[in-house]
Structure 1
């Protein structure tokens, strides 16, 4: 019985420090430059809303929810992560190709949820 309780606690806590990595990281050059970006999520906005990175960069987004549970989705990179209420999540991807990649909240957070989005510009 104790082992089941411990297992449930471990599973519950593992969602508090979610890390989602893009599959392209596996083929990323070992010496790719790293760009860390801190973001916040709150009803109904991401800050910053527009992120600019250089092509060939290993991007690490550290996202903090300032209020309720949010989601973060970048379809082109196959990224879908939950940001717990007043918690954090880390997203990593390799900005291999130039372009504009939209992101959005993927966890319903209220009436303005569908306008909670932004974009990553890879130059």
Structure 2
């Protein structure tokens, strides 16, 4: 009886492995070139937190602000800069022409910790 259970488990694992090889493993996010990274402000959202407590850019910089949802469904609003990324719109180009500190909040109700999901953008 034990041999039958082991044979079944082994068969399932083999079929699973063949399926992964056939369909391919999930692809990790493509690496950005150094030029793309320099022109991008990437904001990564997980459950109830952003990846940084503060983001910094230089006044006069023109960047593409990108939101990546790592865990959960989130949005981002940079208050005072007319930036709101959510749903199908997860990137926006902006020129940071006014120095200051701008609140950055989650714009999609994401659960119990939603109200504490905050950061700041500092334009120097």
State the TM-score, normalized to the length of structure 1: 0.63
RMSD between superposed Cα atoms in Å? 1.8
Larger % of helix: which?
2
Determine the structure 1 residue equivalent to 2:49: 45
The equivalent position to 1:73 in structure 2, one of 60, 74, 77, is: 77
Superposition pairs of residues 82-93 of structure 1, within 5 angstroms? 82-83=86-87, 89-93=90-94
Structure 2: state its 5+ residue gaps.
1-37
Structure 1's consecutive aligned runs of 4 or more residues displaced over 4 angstroms after TM superposition are none
Match of 1:105 in 2: 106
CA contact (8 A) 1:70 1:108 kept: yes
Counterpart of 1:96 in structure 2 is 97
Residue 41 of structure 1 and its aligned partner are, at CA, apart by 0.3
Task: Give distance in 2, aligned partners of 1:92 and 1:49.
Answer: 22
Shift of 1:83: 4.7
* Equivalent residues, number: 87
CA contact (8 A) 2:54 2:120 kept: yes
| Aligned-pair CA distance for 1:59 | 2.1
Instruction: Considering Cα pairs closer than 8 Å and 6+ residues apart, tell me whether 1 or 2 has the greater RCO.
Output: 1
